[in-house]
C-alpha cells in the first residue's frame, strides 16, 4: 500500500529508522541535520521509543555504544564537525563488533567550515572513520525516497555483519523535500542478539563487549578474523552501484549522492551533442565498486569524477581503472553546488584534449 508523503530527507531518514524498529536515538544539535534530532524528540515517545539530546557528539556515540551493546537497534546523526568528534566511539564500536547506524549530513569543511552542502568527508567516511584497522559500510543515497530505503538497509546490514553503517548525505539531500513512499520499505525483523550485555539471568556465562587485546597475537587474530569473516564478505556481497551507457563510452561521469542527479543531466546534455557519454554512480562508497569500474575501464575511453569536494574519490576511481584510462576531476567545494553546465563543460574540455 502506498504511504506517500512529502518530507525532507532528514525527516524521511528519521521516520524510516522508526519504521524498521529503531527505538533509541542519541544526538546533539548541529546544522544541517537538526531535523533528525527534532523529529526523533517528537516521534520516539509516540512510538514507545527513547530520544535523548546528549551533552556532546562524543557522549551521544557512547550512548549508542551502550544501547547497541545492550542489544537495541540504535541510531545517531550529525554533520561533519560532529562526526569528527564521534570517530573515537565509532572505532570502539567497530572494535567491539557492535551494530549501529550513523548519519553524516555533510557540510563544508575543514574546521567549522560552513553549513552548506558538501561531500568533503568522503575520505573520512571511507578510509578514516576511526583509529585502527577498521571500516564501515558507507551508503550514499541520492533522493529522499532512497534515504528512507537506505536507512532500512543500513539497520539490516549493521545487524547482519555486526558493524557500524554510515548513511552519507549532505545538506541538500537532508533539507530538500520530495515525495517518499514508506509503503515501499521492506522491513525485516532484527536477528536475535545472543551476544548482548543485558544481564545473564544466571542462565549463561557473562557476555563481555570489549575491544582490548593486550597480547599482540590476540589482537592480530581478532583483526584477521574481522577481515576474513566480515570485511571480505562485505566486499564480495554488498557492493552496490548504478550505471547506464558505460560500455564503449567516450567518457564516463562518476559521481554519488546529490551530484549524481546533476551529473545525470550533464550526461544527457553530452548525449544531445552526440558524445557517447556514460553514467556511473557508486551507491556503496564502502565497499567501493572497484570491480565493475575496472571492467568499464576495459571499453570506456576515459572517466570524469565529479564531487562536492577537491576530488577525494578520484584516487579510488584511478585505482579501480588500473591506470588503463585517464581519470579527470571536476568539482566545487565549500558549500557550492555544481551545475549540470559546469560538469558538461568540464567533460567537453577533457574530450578536446
The minimum distance between CB 198 and another protein, in angstroms, equals: 5
The minimum distance between CB 95 and another protein, in angstroms, equals: 10
**Nearest of 239, 254, 236, 257 to residue 174 by alpha carbon:** 257
Of residues 23-42, those binding another protein (CB under 8 A): 24, 26
Site string (227-246) toward another protein, x via CB under 8 A: --------------------
The minimum distance between CB 50 and another protein, in angstroms, equals: 5
Interaction between residue 63 and another protein (CB under 8 A)? yes
Selected binder of another protein within 34, 188, 207, 268 (CB under 8 A): 207
Selected binder of another protein within 7, 17, 18, 65 (CB under 8 A): 65
Using CB atoms within 10 A of its CB, is residue 74 exposed (0-12), middle (13-18) or buried (19+)? buried
Cβ closer to another protein: 34 or 96?
A: 96
Contacts of 265 (CB under 8 A, 6+ apart): 340
Distance CA 162, CA 159 (A): 5
Interaction between residue 202 and another protein (CB under 8 A)? yes
Interaction between residue 211 and another protein (CB under 8 A)? yes
The minimum distance between CB 54 and another protein, in angstroms, equals: 7
Using CB atoms within 10 A of its CB, is residue 200 exposed (0-12), middle (13-18) or buried (19+)? exposed
Kindly tell me the sign of the dihedral angle through the C-alpha atoms of 242, 146, 67, 28. Answer: positive
Distance CA 60, CA 77 (A): 9
The minimum distance between CB 28 and another protein, in angstroms, equals: 11
Interaction between residue 89 and another protein (CB under 8 A)? yes
Contacts of 297 (CB under 8 A, 6+ apart): 303, 320, 321, 322, 324, 325
The minimum distance between CB 218 and another protein, in angstroms, equals: 13
- Contact region for another protein (CB under 8 A) — 159-167, 207-215, 227-235, 261-269? 207-215
The minimum distance between CB 69 and another protein, in angstroms, equals: 5
Cβ closer to another protein: 64 or 263?
A: 64
Selected binder of another protein within 29, 42, 112, 210 (CB under 8 A): 210
Q: What is the largest CA-CA distance in the chain?
A: 73
Contact present, 106 and 259 (Cβ < 8 Å): no
| Residues forming beta bridges with residue 168, ordered by sequence position | 104
Interaction between residue 58 and another protein (CB under 8 A)? yes
- Which grid coordinates are listed for 42? 517528537
Distance CA 78, CA 106 (A): 8
Of residues 91-110, those binding another protein (CB under 8 A): 92, 96
Distance CA 100, CA 62 (A): 11
Interaction between residue 198 and another protein (CB under 8 A)? yes
Site string (152-191) toward another protein, x via CB under 8 A: ----------------------------------------
Selected binder of another protein within 74, 140, 157, 252 (CB under 8 A): 74
Distance of CA 252 to the CA centre of its chain: 23
Interaction between residue 66 and another protein (CB under 8 A)? yes
**Nearest of 322, 315, 343, 344 to residue 122 by alpha carbon:** 315
Residues that bind another protein (CB under 8 A): 24, 26, 50, 52, 54-56, 58-60, 62-72, 74, 88-89, 92, 96, 197-203, 206-212
Amino acid at each position: 500500500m502506498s504511504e506517500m508523503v512529502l518530507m525532507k530527507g532528514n525527516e524521511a531518514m528519521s521516520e524510516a529508522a522508526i519504521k524498521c524498529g529503531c527505538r533509541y536515538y542519541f544526538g546533539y544539535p548541529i546544522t544541517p541535520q537538526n531535523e533528525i534530532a527534532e523529529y526523533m524528540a517528537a516521534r520516539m515517545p509516540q512510538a514507545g521509543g527513547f530520544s535523548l539530546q546528549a551533552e556532546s557528539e562524543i557522549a551521544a556515540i557512547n550512548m549508542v555504544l551502550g544501547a547497541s551493546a545492550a542489544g537495541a537497534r540504535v541510531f545517531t546523526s550529525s554533520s561533519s564537525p560532529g562526526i569528527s568528534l564521534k570517530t573515537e566511539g565509532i572505532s570502539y564500536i567497530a572494535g567491539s563488533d557492535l551494530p549501529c547506524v550513523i548519519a553524516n549530513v555533510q557540510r563544508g569543511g575543514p574546521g567549522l567550515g560552513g553549513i552548506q552542502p558538501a561531500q568533503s568527508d568522503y575520505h573520512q567516511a571511507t578510509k578514516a572513520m576511526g583509529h585502527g584497522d577498521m571500516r564501515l559500510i558507507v551508503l550514499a543515497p541520492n533522493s529522499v525516497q532512497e534515504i528512507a530505503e537506505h536507512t532500512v538497509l543500513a539497520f539490516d546490514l549493521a545487524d547482519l555483519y555486526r558493524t557500524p553503517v554510515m548513511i552519507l548525505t549532505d545538506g541538500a539531500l537532508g533539507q530538500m523535500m520530495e515525495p517518499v513512499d514508506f509503503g515501499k520499505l521492506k522491513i525485516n525483523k532484527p536477528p536475535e542478539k545472543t551476544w548482548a550485555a543485558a544481564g545473564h539471568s544466571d542462565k549463561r556465562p557473562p557476555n563481555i563487549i570489549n575491544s582490548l587485546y593486550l597480547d599482540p597475537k590476540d589482537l592480530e587474530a581478532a583483526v584477521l578474523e574481522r577481515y576474513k569473516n566480515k570485511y571480505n564478505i562485505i566486499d564480495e556481497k554488498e557492493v552496490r552501484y548504478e550505471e547506464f551507457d558505460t560500455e564503449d563510452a567516450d567518457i564516463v561521469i562518476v559521481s554519488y549522492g546529490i551530484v549524481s542527479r546533476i551529473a545525470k543531466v550533464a550526461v544527457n546534455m553530452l548525449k544531445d551533442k552526440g558524445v557517447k557519454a556514460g553514467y556511473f554512480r557508486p551507491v556503496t562508497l564502502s565497499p567501493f565498486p572497484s570491480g565493475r569500474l575496472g571492467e568499464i575501464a576495459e571499453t570506456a575511453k576515459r572517466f570524469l569524477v565529479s564531487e562536492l569536494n577537491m576530488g577525494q574519490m578520484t584516487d579510488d576511481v584511478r585505482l579501480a581503472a588500473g591506470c588503463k584510462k585517464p581519470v579527470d576531476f571536476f568539482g566545487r567545494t565549500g558549500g557550492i553546488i555544481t551545475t549540470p553546465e559546469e560538469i558538461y563543460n568540464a567533460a567537453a574540455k577533457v574530450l578536446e584534449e
